[in-house]
Amino acid sequence: MIYALLVGGSAFVLSLLSGHFIVAALRARKIGKVISDEGPTSHLVKAGTPTMGGLIIYGTVAVVTVLTNLFEREGNSLTFERRSILLPLGVVLFTMSIGFWDDLGTLVSVEGRRALSWRVKFVLISALSVTVALVMFFGLEAQSVNVPWLGQHELGYAYIAVAVITVFATTSAVSITDGLDGLLGGTAAIAFAAYAIIAFTQGQEFLATFSFTVVGALLGFLWYNAHPAQVFMGDTGALPLGASLATVALMTGHWLLLPVIGIVFVAEASSAVLQIAYFQTTGGRRLFRMTPLHHHFELIGWSEPQVVMRMWLFGITGAMVGVALALSV
CA distance 152 to 148: 9
pLDDT tens digits for 36-80?
A: 555 565 565 666 788 889 999 999 999 999 888 877 655 554 444
CA distance 188 to 87: 19
SS3 284: coil
pLDDT tens digits for 260-300?
A: 999 999 999 999 999 999 888 888 888 888 889 999 999 99
**CA-based nearest residue to 10, from 76, 87, 64, 83:** 64
Say how many residues make up the chain.
Answer: 329
Residue 42 near residue 98, CB atoms below 8 Å: no
What's the confidence (pLDDT) of residue 147? 93
SS3 74: strand
What's the confidence (pLDDT) of residue 109? 53
pTM of the full structure: 0.91
CA distance 300 to 133: 41
Strand bridging mode 72-74 / 144-147: unpaired
Q: Does the pLDDT at position 311 exceed 80?
A: yes
Tell me the mean pLDDT in the region 215-239.
Answer: 93
Strand bridging mode 144-147 / 151-154: antiparallel
CA dist 186 → 161, 217, 291 (Å): 30, 11, 20
Residue 60 near residue 220, CB atoms below 8 Å: yes
Residue 191 near residue 315, CB atoms below 8 Å: yes
Taking the domains of the chain in order of start, what are their residue ranges?
Answer: 2-258
pLDDT tens digits for 131-162?
A: 999 999 999 989 899 999 998 999 999 999 99
Percentage above 70 pLDDT, the chain: 89
CA distance 174 to 187: 9
What's the confidence (pLDDT) of residue 33? 64
Residue 72 near residue 81, CB atoms below 8 Å: yes
